[in-house]
């Protein structure tokens, strides 16, 4: 009986935030700042890993790109970018300038309907 009571009190304690280990909201969560977007390009014209690396370099050097990963096997580039600094059209240009033909596979963003590819 008293054990039950103690358990109940403990549970209440958790809910009330007595135990810092129980609180996930204590961790700092990055919230407001321009949210990075992610876009996936299918890229035509790659013929080796060097091509993928060249595209990756070009993208990573481009303004507003936070991370770009290009895989030759998939012939895809996944680019995470700051939408306050650049956009999909600009990134497309970067890849075209590098000598390849990108087409957008999955633009990020919630406005254009949901997840059926």
Our CB check for Cu ion shows the closer of 22 and 54 to be: 54
- Report the phi/psi class of residue 116: left, alpha or beta, with left for phi > 0 and alpha for psi in -120 to 50: beta
User: Could you tell me the smallest distance in angstroms from the CB atom of residue 86 to Cu ion?
Assistant: 25
Q: Which residues bind Cu ion (CB under 5 A)?
A: 47-48, 50-51
User: Could you tell me the smallest distance in angstroms from the CB atom of residue 57 to Cu ion?
Assistant: 13
The sheet carrying 65-71 orders its strands as 65-71, 76-82, 36-44, 101-104
Our CB check for Cu ion shows the closer of 19 and 97 to be: 97
């Amino acid at each position: 009986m008293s054990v039950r009571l103690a358990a109940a009190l403990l549970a209440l304690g958790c809910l009330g935030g007595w135990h810092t280990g129980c609180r996930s909201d204590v961790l700092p969560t990055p919230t407001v700042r321009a949210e990075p977007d992610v876009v996936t390009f299918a890229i035509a014209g790659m013929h080796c890993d060097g091509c993928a690396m060249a595209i990756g370099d070009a993208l990573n050097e481009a303004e507003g790109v936070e991370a770009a990963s290009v895989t030759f096997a998939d012939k895809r580039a996944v680019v995470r970018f700051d939408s306050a600094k650049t956009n999909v059209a600009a990134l497309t240009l970067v890849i075209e300038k590098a000598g390849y033909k990108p087409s957008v596979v999955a633009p990020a963003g919630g406005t254009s309907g949901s997840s059926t590819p």
